[in-house]
Chains A and B, each alone.
Chain A
Amino acid sequence: MVGNEPHRPYHRPELSKRFLTGRVQADQLTLAAYTEVDARWRLNTAARGIDTAKRALLLPGGEQLAYDGLVIATGMESRHLPGAPVSDPRVHQLRTLDDATRLHEALSTDKEPVVVIGGGFTGCEVAASIRTLKRRVTVVTDGPALMAGALPPELCDSITRLHQSKGVGVVLGVEVLHWLVQDHGIAIHLSDGQVLVAGHVVIAVGGLPAVSWLRGSKVRHHELDGVYCEPTCHAIGATDVVAAGDVACWPNLRFDDAPRRVEHWLNAVEMGRAAAENLLLGPARATAFTPIPRFWTEQHRMKVQVAGQPQLGGEHGRLGAGCLASARRDGLVGLTTVDRSREFNRLLAGLNARRPAPSTRRKGFQEPVATVREHMHRAGEAMRPPPKSTPLVSNYLPAGVTLTPTSTRT
């Protein structure tokens, strides 16, 4: 096990939530191992490259580590914001335990206002956690709403209002023009003319797959897409290299044959298992990894759960209180629930049946035909509109579920 962090694996999702609020300590984040792992741990060791012909992992100082099989699970690195004064100790990012520890300690030294740049999962969760500590916090995003592009537009609007109602400052649709580092705070000039002065800044503008170390190797990769994989998680063209987690770009044949990455914790858990099994089985006996991706976020005690890939859907409809469905031309692609875990599992079973993994798909499966011309409202533009002929979401609902079109603004 080679990793560039000084720690053994830990539960990263908690960093932006209860670790930041002080409810959970670092020693409570360690992951339990349910089998005895006979591994040598090379922590604090960043891999420098792979020689696939020699089957060797290249380590610092010219060291080489021979392998029979290799799992690439390097995850993501935080994206930088051009011009941001990242060397200032008051400017933070949040990806690792060390990042989170530094932020937590910085927040405990004063009561200065905090500005979070970025309205995605990390930005929103960090802002909610900081607000829980009764501190002044403002989220700045270039999107039309918080979480835009990640969740159905209607829900993004609700989440934006939730943050505002809890006292979080929200600035939408702006970019940072420039930064002014001063003794009493960091002044952030925004494109709408506002100037925010922050005691601490958290930059949470997403990440990039950690693949720079693969430059020059035979493993096919891209700085935005990560490591290109077969449906079985094998690196393209390789029999003894697999990739898993946020860094892996593979076609999930349950949805289509377009290779994509999934940047969510539960997928990393499941894909790690699948990739390891397929590595041991070898390409000939390996099976395609075709999960229904699932993820969650918790902000101001509101639990959002998502199944599938709602961002692929051009239509979004309501399945009753707190439940949304997303569909594209070939049917249901995603489900989202708010504070309804039981319902989430029931709908998830429906999605699983409606969009089965390819091996279990019945031959001659009849696509449902749209019968009612009832159009679903679309809010926002982050999700692309469907082609004109798109069948309705309601044709793809799990049995026994009725659909109400989403209202404009509730």
Chain B
Amino acid sequence: MSPRRALHGSSLTISVNNGRCHLYGTCQYEAPSLFELTEDERLRYVTEVIPEYADQARAAAMACPMRAIQLSGERL
């Protein structure tokens, strides 16, 4: 199952504040299907996720050393 939101499904939105993010990659450890540090030292992440992955997204946001991850959406 892909963590990405299906069309018209209820969803959770992830946004990362680039000014705050120091690329520790803690989010990738908590939620490997949602976050990835790339080879060129950038953070790739899924912006719209289905509710099944909300727990992972929450864990990643709570564990972020820089508190750079914001979550919003219908079902937190």
Which B residues, 20 to 76, have Cβ-Cβ distances below 8 Å to chain A? 22-26, 28-29, 37-39, 41, 58, 61-63, 65, 67, 70-71, 76
Spell out B's residues near A (CB within 8 Å): 22-26, 28-29, 37-39, 41, 58, 61-63, 65, 67, 70-71, 76
Shortest Cβ distance from residue A110 to the other chain B in the assembled complex, whole angstroms: 30
Q: How far is the CA of A126 from the CA of B17 in the complex (A)?
A: 25
Q: Which 4 A-B pairs have the closest CB atoms?
A: A341-B25, A342-B37, A34-B58, A34-B76
Q: Do B61 and A32 touch (CB < 8 A)?
A: yes
Spell out A's residues near B (CB within 8 Å): 11, 13-14, 31-32, 34-35, 265-266, 269-270, 294, 296, 298, 303, 305, 341-342, 344-345, 348
Which among B22, B23, B25, B63 has the highest number of chain A CB atoms within 10 Å?
Answer: B25
Q: Do B65 and A266 touch (CB < 8 A)?
A: yes
Q: Do A341 and B24 touch (CB < 8 A)?
A: yes
Inter-chain contacts of A31 with B (CB < 8 A): 67
Which among A32, A35, A298 has the highest number of chain B CB atoms within 10 Å?
Answer: A32
Q: Do B65 and A13 touch (CB < 8 A)?
A: yes
Add 9 more A-B contacts to A11-B67, A34-B76 (CB < 8 A).
A13-B65, A14-B67, A32-B67, A32-B71, A266-B26, A296-B24, A296-B65, A341-B23, A342-B38
Instruction: Known A11-B67, A34-B61, A34-B62; judge A303-B22 contact (CB<8 A).
Output: yes
Q: Do B25 and A342 touch (CB < 8 A)?
A: yes
Instruction: Known A341-B37, A342-B37; judge A294-B26 contact (CB<8 A).
Output: yes
Inter-chain contacts of B37 with A (CB < 8 A): 341-342, 345
